Amino acid sequence: MNALYWWLTLAVLLFCIGAFGVLVRRNVIVVVMCLELMLNAVNIALVAISNFRAGALGAGTLFSLFIITLAAAEVTVGLAIVIANYRNRRTVQTDQYDELKG
């Protein structure tokens, strides 16, 4: 049992909490928050592995910097889409987005 094990356990736990939230929550804003949680869990895993494998400046740290940037871009696009839909229907509950089915 080394320190990496505990860090990865934390990452997996956070990732699962995020994934669970995406799957069960009906409010799109909360879903977007859970998506961010999943990506941050990935960051913890990457930095921990990188530190364990190659010191603080390993490739994993670099990867996590890119993921932070991408998460910001993703939430920007996501919230814009949420607002566009809110203007159409006055709701952010996913179960009321039911125009398309069959």
Partner 1 sequence: MNAGNAVVVILPGVVVAVGAFVVFLVDLFVARKAVLAWIAAAGLITGAAVAVGQWISVSNGLHFNARKPQTGFAGMVSLDKYALFCVVLFAGIGVATIMLSDAYLARRKAARGEFYGLLLLVITGMIGMVVSTDVVAFFVSFELMSLPTYVLAGYLWRDERSGEASIKYFVTGAFSSAILAFGLALVYGASGQTTYSGIAAGLAKLSGLDARGFLVVAFVLVVTGFGFKISAVPFHNWAPDVYEGAPTPVTAFMATGVKAAAFAGFARLFVAAAGLQWQTWAHTMTILAVLTMVVGNVLALPQRNLKRMLAYSSIAHAGYLTLGLIAAGTSGKPLGIAAILFYLFAYALMNLGAFGVLIWIRNRRKFAYTLGEIGGLARTMPWAAILMAVFMVSLTGIPPTIGFWGKFYLFTAVVQANLTWLAIVAVIMSSVSAYYYLRVVWYMYFREAPQGAEMEAEPKSSQLGVTVAVSLAAAGVLVVGLFPEPLLKAAEGAVRLIFGG
Binding site for partner 1 (CB under 8 A): 8, 15, 18-19, 22, 28, 31-32, 35, 38-39, 41-42, 45-46, 49-50, 53-54, 59-60, 62-63, 66-67, 70, 73-74, 77-78, 80-82, 84-85, 88-89, 94, 97, 99-102
Alpha carbons within 13 angstroms on the beta-carbon side of residue 91 total 8
The DSSP H or E segment spanning 28 is helix 28-54
**Closest separation in Å from C-beta 92 to partner 1:** 9
Cβ nearer to partner 1, comparing 6 with 53: 53
**Closest separation in Å from C-beta 89 to partner 1:** 7
Cβ nearer to partner 1, comparing 10 with 67: 67
Query: Rounded CA gap, 87 and 41, in Å?
Result: 32
Chain centroid to Cα 13, Å, comes to: 13
**Which of 69, 62, 59, 61 lies closest to 39 in space, CA to CA?**
69
The DSSP H or E segment spanning 56 is none
**Closest separation in Å from C-beta 14 to partner 1:** 10
